[in-house]
Structure 1
Amino acid sequence: MPELPDITVYVERLAAKVGGSMLQRVRVLNPFLLRTAVPSISQAEGRRVVGVERLGKRVVLALDGGLFLVIHLMIAGRLRWFAAGAKPPGRIALATFEFDGGTLVLTEAGSKRRASLHLLANRDALTAMDPGGIDVLSADLAGFQQRLSAENHTLKRALTDPRLFSGIGNAYSDEILHRARLSPVALSHSLSAEQVRALFDAVRAVMTEWTERLRAAAGDWPDKVTAFRPEMAVHGRYGLPCPVCGAPVQRIVYADNETNYCARCQTGGKLLADRALSRLLKASWPRNIDDLE
């Protein structure tokens, strides 16, 4: 799922391409995409884009007259830019937004249709859609600590909770926790003041560095938006060496996601139980990273 760095670059490139331009036509190509009926999507046509914003992991086009188009890409949704008159891709295209200078196309890979489009009537409706997570790049340490300690969850769950922190998902939470040298299953109430500070610094550093990296790589448009990048330290790198200590990156698999971590850097060498695999191996399940070497 595109997270804060990816969404920020989308917003910046969209602002450069369509800011001040008239949205001539909206075509919804999949009936499951549009989640609002009032105002009618046709009411977005003929309006100028007066701003482009990020709302958590959503891209927002602010239109004159007070309307807001809200695009949530979910896991497999992507935004693509085509020259005016170019034919959009077939089966994966969910919607097109036509401007004088080109066409914005919302696509979604795979068979599951999770991406969504809302047209909202005013700023109050947009505010109501905000889960409430704080902007981690503008928050101070006190505000960050208050959110972190609001509930006693694992750090992985806390960082990815949109009610607590805005724009952090599965990929960058792994990178943040590795940078902070903290276990993904450590409880938020168990952290010392020094560990909270380390986590705060890691959040800001990882999100800033990756936003700058993706911004530089995007060129005219970010065509390669993915949660798996070879430059990442641990996310998506199960079995590969940790760039800090060289130990093989480990994982915890659950549902459709997995958490990647370095046992030596983050858990004192302890291997965290993978629910399925540890049950299968039972007594043979290794307890320490050194048992694997």
Structure 2
Amino acid sequence: MPELPEVHALVADLDHRLRDRVVARLDLMSFAALKTFDPPVSALAGQGIRSVTRHGKFIDMAVGDLHLVMHLARAGWVRWTDGTRPAPVRPGRSPVAARLVLDDGSGLVITEAGTKKSLAIYLVRQPADVPGVARLGPDPLADGFTRDVFAGILASAGRSQIKGVLRNQSIIAGIGNAYSDEILHTARMSPFKPASMGADDGSRLYDAMQATLREAISRSEGLAASELKQEKKTGMQVHGRTGEPCPVCGDTVRQVIFADSTLQYCPTCQTGGKPLADRVLSRLLK
């Protein structure tokens, strides 16, 4: 799933390509992907693209007086096409969910791999009309996201596991499963540690969050959309690296499997050398 650093870089690439271009139409191949009906997608025709920005993991294209908002979910992606060789689309079998076509035939192909279709497209008058955007917590890279603000978030979360707090979009926008693993590894902190931690731990976690996200953005800066997935994968230290040596201490990276996701961690760096029980009801490690 693309998270804040990839969406940040993707938005920069799309803004460069799309700003001041004119939309011809939005073609939907997966009608289930469109979550709104008013305004109709036909309202995009002939409208200029003013900017491409983000809200957490949501991509926001300002088109005329409207906003075309996308959430790529677990397996969605966007690629640029010059329009010269459109890929054939087989209904029910193609990964193509939609195409945004510009007035010269170029544009974006929006795809979603796999069988679990969660990609969502909204055409709204204001970004806050999208329920997921309206529920977003603060952006961790915003100027107002200070150490004190983060301390307040941790205190409010109480005994909730810190892994879940970091990836809860209503608490902090943009961090998902992968970067929460990376942040906690950098902070040398158990994913099951309660959020209501001491000031020193909270400060260390804040520094790890800022460093991890900003370094990932720096690595992705200037890359085309087609290169971002590989950059994310190669930049991970523990996430997706079960069974490999930790790059910090050399211990074996382990994982905990949940119903719909996994987390990875280093026992030596994060849990005092103790492996976490690999089940949903693992006991918290302080």
Give the TM-score of the pair, scaled to structure 1: 0.88
| Number of the residue aligned with 1:150 | 156
CA contact (8 A) 1:148 1:164 kept: no
More displaced 10-residue stretch of structure 1: 198-207 or 148-157: 148-157
Q: Percent identity?
A: 36
Given the superposition, is the C-alpha separation of residues 5 and 124 from structure 1 closer, same or farther in structure 2, using an over 3 Å criterion?
closer
| Number of the residue aligned with 1:112 | 116
| Number of the residue aligned with 1:85 | 84
| Number of the residue aligned with 1:141 | 147
Cα displacement (A) at 1:86: 2.7
Residue 185 of structure 1 pairs with residue 192 of structure 2: yes
How far apart, CA to CA, are the structure 2 residues paired with 1:250 and 1:127?
36
In structure 1, runs of 5+ residues without a counterpart are: 279-293
Which residue among 235, 241, 252 is the counterpart of 1:231?
Answer: 235
How far apart, CA to CA, are the structure 2 residues paired with 1:156 and 1:276?
13
Counterpart code for 2:6: D
In structure 2, runs of 5+ residues without a counterpart are: none
1:230 partner SS: helix
Given the superposition, is the C-alpha separation of residues 110 and 127 from structure 1 closer, same or farther in structure 2, using an over 3 Å criterion?
closer
CA contact (8 A) 2:216 2:235 kept: no
| Number of the residue aligned with 1:205 | 211
| Number of the residue aligned with 1:266 | 270
Cα displacement (A) at 1:132: 2.6
1:111 partner SS: coil
Which residue among 121, 125, 133 is the counterpart of 2:125?
Answer: 121
Counterpart code for 1:7: V
Cα displacement (A) at 1:222: 3.4
Given the superposition, is the C-alpha separation of residues 92 and 223 from structure 1 closer, same or farther in structure 2, using an over 3 Å criterion?
farther
| Number of the residue aligned with 1:282 | none
1:85-128 Cα distance to aligned partner (Å, 9 max, x none): 33036311100001237210100011121101000023552587
CA contact (8 A) 2:220 2:231 kept: no
Cα displacement (A) at 1:32: 0.8
CA contact (8 A) 1:10 1:222 kept: no
Counterpart code for 1:106: I
Cα displacement (A) at 1:212: 1.1
Which residues in structure 2 correspond to 1:1-293 (within 5 Å)?
1-65=1-65, 67-88=66-87, 90=89, 91-99=94-102, 100=104, 102-126=106-130, 129-138=133-142, 139-152=145-158, 153-189=160-196, 191-216=197-222, 218=223, 220-225=224-229, 229-275=233-279
How far apart, CA to CA, are the structure 2 residues paired with 1:130 and 1:276?
30
CA contact (8 A) 1:68 1:126 kept: no
Cα displacement (A) at 1:227: 8.9
1:140-194 Cα distance to aligned partner (Å, 9 max, x none): 10111112222221110000000111100000000000000000000001x1111
Cα displacement (A) at 1:230: 3.3
More displaced 10-residue stretch of structure 1: 9-18 or 97-106: 97-106
Query: How many residues end up aligned between the 2 structures?
Result: 274
More displaced 10-residue stretch of structure 1: 52-61 or 170-179: 52-61
Counterpart code for 1:255: A
How far apart, CA to CA, are the structure 2 residues paired with 1:4 and 1:276?
26
How far apart, CA to CA, are the structure 1 residues paired with 2:140 and 2:207?
10
Counterpart code for 2:17: K
More displaced 10-residue stretch of structure 1: 49-58 or 167-176: 49-58
2:264 partner SS: strand
How far apart, CA to CA, are the structure 1 residues paired with 2:119 and 2:86?
21
How far apart, CA to CA, are the structure 1 residues paired with 2:31 and 2:51?
26
CA contact (8 A) 1:68 1:119 kept: yes
Counterpart code for 1:103: G
Give the TM-score of the pair, scaled to structure 2: 0.90
